[in-house]
Amino acid sequence: MITEFVVTSGEQPKRLDVFLVNRERDISRSALQRLIELGRIRINDQVVKASQKIKPGDKITMDVPKPEPLALKGEAIPLEVLFEDDALLVLNKPAGIVVHPAPGNWTGTLVNALLHHFQTSGGTVSTIGGKERPGLVHRLDKETSGVMVIAKTDHAHRALAAQFKHHSITRVYEALIWGVPKKGHGLIKLAIGRDTKERKKFSAHTTSPKESVTEYQVDHRYGKRAAHVLLYPRTGRTHQLRVHLTSLGHPILGDPTYGGRRVCAIDHVEIPRVMLHARTLGFHHPTTGEVQEFTRSFPSDMEAVSKALEQLTLHRSSKES
């Protein structure tokens, strides 16, 4: 697929590969560099190097071949199933697993695990999401753990998707965050979209803002260094919770994308990942209409960080007293 665009007047001079990696969220820097070496990415119709500096007015032409997905296969990846019947499956997703296949992640995903589960159990899965997203009504980021629902029939998929669309789903997240909000409870209203400069990020600096609302409640304070918060998203935008908490000045611990390197460690306490967990998911069963709600407290890695922060707080308090 060939695309062309002109570098805008406000763009600062930078390497071509650096410029493109912030603009093309689905292509890695190494893949971009290979395309540049092959002459598939050009500036003003000229073959250039990845180190070539772009400038306003440059016309960039990209000829990116469409990736051909591998035939998806079931993989024996353990699943923590919380509930399953003929219409749906509810599971507790671990952190570190990508939900659906995409370039660079055709194997080892939650979908691969689900395909194996249904193949061995004889169950069905909704086809509405297509071959690469069978049964997926919603998703969680790779580093986010927590409760998810999977549709096993097309009817269930449509019914659950409608509930997500109309925000009638009950959702509660919990996070460990940098610092402590001044207010113990509040509502964050900030329209967000894909960032105009860094294409892998979302922010209020966007050409396509979408209404985004999150309610938060401080559940526990670790001195002034960090806090445990409960989050009640009223909308479901990509990276919404991460962006909203950052807008308060309290990014999620372990999230260098929005909080920088400072949030990856507090004193000697190392933060292994983004400290975000989908705690509760509630919905009307698509067949029976019964209200069902599933809750799982945060996993062992978040528990370990929480205990370490508590010990750090107690140690500092004893030194100051």
Position 266 pLDDT exceeds 60: yes
Q: Is 17 assigned a catalytic role?
A: no
Question: What's the first-to-final CA gap in the chain, in angstroms?
Answer: 66
Taking only the tens place, the pLDDT of each residue in 157-177 is 999 999 999 999 999 999 999
> Crossing angle, helix 16-23 and helix 29-37, to 10 degrees?
130
In the prediction, which pLDDT does 142 show? 93
Position 155 pLDDT exceeds 70: yes
Position 70 pLDDT exceeds 60: no
Instruction: Output 246-249 pairs: Cβ under 8 A, ≥24 positions apart.
Output: 247/188, 247/190, 247/204, 248/181, 248/188, 248/216, 249/179
In the prediction, which pLDDT does 15 show? 92
In the prediction, which pLDDT does 297 show? 94
Position 68 pLDDT exceeds 60: no
In the prediction, which pLDDT does 226 show? 97
The listed range with the strongest mean pLDDT (14-23, 63-72, 89-98) is 89-98
* Catalytic hit among 141, 219, 255, 267: 141
In the prediction, which pLDDT does 107 show? 84
Average of per-residue pLDDT values in the chain: 90
In the prediction, which pLDDT does 124 show? 79
pLDDT band at 25 (very low <50, low <70, confident <90, very high): low
pLDDT band at 319 (very low <50, low <70, confident <90, very high): low
Instruction: Find out whether 76 and 23 touch, Cβ atoms under 8 Å.
Output: no
* Least confidently predicted of 18-27, 90-99, 216-225: 18-27
More confident residue, 3 or 148: 148
Structural domains in the chain, CATH included, are 2-63 (3.10.290.10), 69-166 (3.30.2350.10), 168-321 (3.30.2350.10)
Amino acid in the structure at residue 128: I
Instruction: Find out whether 238 and 208 touch, Cβ atoms under 8 Å.
Output: no
pLDDT band at 31 (very low <50, low <70, confident <90, very high): confident
Mean pLDDT of 6-27: 84
How far are the Cα atoms of 177, 190, 240 from residue 246, in angstroms, in the given order?
9, 11, 10
In the prediction, which pLDDT does 276 show? 98
